[in-house]
Structure 1
């Protein structure tokens, strides 16, 4: 029996889960949960990395207590065999030559990267950037963050000796080792998609310092252990640290129990949370004129795989609406909001979830009504209609992405596997089946955690292959099925949605 500890850091909060694997079934127990709230200093949005480090140590302490005292589930008096960390992509910390963190990492939603994509394209054409890295153009990509720092002559950039992505930085705090795991590094737009190494020549042409980039390691590498100092502080042994698929979506996809015969391009995955990551797993990168035109990304996966996917704004829009309503005193959980939305008027109005109005934090209900006014649609009469408009519009966007993927791949997608926290939204799951006309299977909810654990178990040789551990996850956490209904109504709504996007308002 093995105990593995998985930390999953998201853009709005983090969790620590202890997993127990008995050789046949995985069971998980949440031992720690905490918010992840950005801090604005001046005009710059930062992550509070020292708080995240504190929560990391707190999670380990709680897990050690759990293993010592348990909850009558057979975990008592057992040690933690390994631990791993996954998080969101692109953001990073910079260390000086003494290994000291120079500043709090900057949040990907900060405005410092405005205009950087265009500036980079003047030096390295967009086609070459994409063909080299296989990564979609997003203004928050690490490459544009570094270019912004170089352009503004940021003191931290000038003093930087080592760049570490968020999970690598947290691992450094634990182990003292400096390395970049491949799946998280691949989100940066700085890796060569063919060699899986840094695209040094291209980065040098942009004038970026490549000396600060440490070695890239594969997911599943045992990348050290707790330092003696950290272990002593926690009152434990030097627990092995596994570099899992450190990009949270990479971990989530590693946990997808693809049905027999539907692996790869026949079954799409949708990692549903703050962002919606919609794509397929491939053996080779897909870098074509079509994938570039549709802005698809090829991020690293486990076992030499690639994740061909598209970033969609996701449930961030609903989360920001809830935050605004909570502040106004209308406090309801997401389940209640979805139940009320179910009774709202279908297709009352439609939004493009990826419109710039919905990118930055703020009063999201006001932003939605501004968009509706700008596009000549009815503004929302109440909160229930706001929620329904968000969910229906996301489902319609998923249909568009499904069709794009089928065109890029030349294959039909037969099933969509929704995983992550958003898979608990049964109304959105049903809307997704209705809009796409595909069979939808929802679960596992804790996909990133389970994928994190899966790679640890592979690294510790507790299981033989990724396919085997995926099958075990499928048996341990059965999915819920949603079948499409209401084809005519959803076809009509999709026509309205497609026309709205063609207008590019």
Structure 2
């Protein structure tokens, strides 16, 4: 038998992976399993197939058991989406996907109940229709019979903690994405729960990152062969919180982008910032690790390219690689900044055809529509870089700090073109990596929970010594400033 490892399950919006980690002087990673997640459309509604995920997790555990019995396992997932349980602990229904259309227009109705400024003062969260508050309120407004039989609400990662331990608990970093948590008290907001007429008892006890929840239930331990002594440790169960934990720096002032389906861009604080500017620029204060706050802005990220890739693969019945699409984007015949979009425009949240949505946006803003795949890909990459610059300028306006480095972590760190574009337009040194930032943060927070790491500084030093970082220096500053001016003129009506 090999030396025991930690095992991280990292659920993303398009795929999930199981990654084992062995901690010595460095963290050694071993990917053992990967599977597709994605939503399922049924009768016009969009859901997550969490029971399929459960089966896939057990497959991964069986593979792991062939190597060794892990010391512990930890689950992380995207935020905002939730599972509803009845009094018997069973699923009320498959959980809705955050891109489901039932929340269209719901924020205006919610603000009639509680003003926008008051919600922000309590929660410190960016306003997005996908937030749990608005998802839950849409069910309330629609008189959903599901709420009538709901006994408990669990976030996605919390649901897997429950399946493997029978413990009903909600971890802090994921709870902080709901827009129902009081960031000052770090408890559920009685005021918001009462004013929106939610049942207070459905919200579980909140635990902190790196909490030991308990051993894997005997039935799963026996079925998968991992043994009955394996513990379930709640890392930072919100994937972004685990990713930010693994940023390879001990600097105090830095900018980060956790880059994947979404791009989460911000900085790390010791306390929430709910200033007028934070509200104006629609930033979010989400719970972090070791008492920190993730002050950031959610940006539509590689979702734009993922959806275009899906459309093209269906059209041409061929599998495309992101590296090939990026190469097409850099064709010398495509002039810089020929086609630009505002990535966070509502029309890009979940269109039936992303390529047509991009073409329509360009036409509607007086631009020529891109025709070739490479032109659409170039449009996406340049527009994302300009959106990053916008958010960077907001951070400077709020804090006035002079930042030197921008860290890109997550799958998007593999895209060298966007990393270089970001360095150019933000005039910062960009350091890209680790790619598996979320899984690394998950694994090391498990190790912290078991007493093998002493502090956040120690954790990040382990990351620095364990992963390869690619660096990008700013280039062609004047050219990119010209492009940014064009972008700003195009998106004048869609700020913040």
Which residue of the partner structure matches residue 320 of structure 1? 307
- Which residue does 2:99 correspond to in 1? 109
Query: Are 1:302 and 2:299 matched, yes or no?
Result: no
Q: What does residue 324 of structure 2 align with? A: 336
CA contact 2:32–2:63 (8 Å) conserved in 1: yes
Are 1:243 and 2:240 matched, yes or no?
A: no
- Say if 1:104 and 1:408 are closer, same or farther in 2 by CA, change over 3 A: same
What's the CA shift for 1:302? 0.4
Q: What's the CA shift for 1:119?
A: 1.4
The whole-number CA distance in structure 2 between the counterparts of 1:429 and 1:155 is 47
Paired residues of 1:345 and 1:385 also in contact (CA < 8 A): no
Please tell me whether residue 17 in structure 1 is matched to residue 9 in structure 2. Answer: no
Structure 2 counterpart SS, 1:418 = strand
- C-alpha separation between the residues in 2 aligned to 1:178 and 1:38? 25
What CA distance in whole angstroms lies between the structure 1 residues aligned with 2:215 and 2:257? 33
CA distance in 2, matches of 1:201, 1:428: 43
Of 416, 437, 440, the match for 2:406: 416
- 1:290 equivalent to 2:273? Answer no
58, 80, 86: which one aligns with 2:70 = 80
Quick one: structure 1 residues 100 and 331, their matched pair in 2 at CA, closer, same or farther if it must change by over 3 Å? closer
**1-structure distance, mates of 2:451, 2:299:** 36
1:318-375 deviation digits (Å, cap 9, x = unpaired): 0000001111115420001111211232111111001112110421111111000000
Give how far 1:2 is off: 5.0
Q: Is the contact between residue 402 and residue 413 of structure 1 (CA under 8 Å) also seen in structure 2?
A: no
Residue 156 of structure 1 corresponds to: 146
1:425 aligns with 2:427: no
Q: Please name the residue that 1:256 is paired with.
A: 247
Show structure 1 runs of 5+ residues with no match. 68-78
Name 1:403's counterpart in structure 2: 393
Map Cα deviations across residues 85-130 of structure 1 (whole Å, 9 max, x no partner).
Answer: 0000010111111111110000000011122211111121110100
User: TM-score, normalization: structure 2?
Assistant: 0.97
* Secondary structure, aligned partner of 1:187: coil
Q: Structure 2: how far apart are the matches of 1:341 and 1:249?
A: 28
**Partner secondary structure for residue 338 of structure 2:** coil
| Aligned mates of 1:123, 1:364 — CA distance in 2 | 34
| Structure 1 runs, 4 residues or longer, greater than 3 Å off | none
CA drift at 1:170: 1.1
Tell me the CA shift for residue 235 of structure 1: 2.2
Q: Residue 71 of structure 1 aligns with which residue?
A: none
Gaps of 5+ in 2: none
Aligned pairs (5 A) from 1:207-218: 207-218=197-208
- Give the length in aligned residue pairs: 489
Q: Helix, strand or coil: the match of 2:21?
A: strand
SS at 1:7's partner residue? Answer: strand
**Contact 2:18–2:32 (8 Å) recurs in 1:** yes
Is it true that 1:136 corresponds to 2:114 in the alignment? no
- Alpha-carbon shift at residue 379 of structure 1 (Å): 1.2
Identify the residue that residue 73 of structure 1 maps to in structure 2: none
Show CA shifts across 1:211-252 (max 9, x none): 100100000100111111221222232210001100000000
Does residue 281 of structure 1 match 2:272?
A: no
Helix, strand or coil: the match of 2:328?
helix
2:171–2:234: 8 Å Cα contact kept in structure 1? yes
CA RMSD of aligned residues (A): 1.2
Q: Which residue of 2 aligns with 1:93?
A: 83
TM superposition shift of 1:174? 0.8
> 1: distance between equivalents of 2:402 and 2:277?
16
Partners of 1:252 and 1:314 lie apart in 2 by 15
SS in 1 for 2:5: strand
Distance 2:174 2:105 in 1: 24
* TM-score, normalisation: structure 1: 0.95
How far, CA to CA, are the matches of 2:85 and 2:221 in structure 1? 23
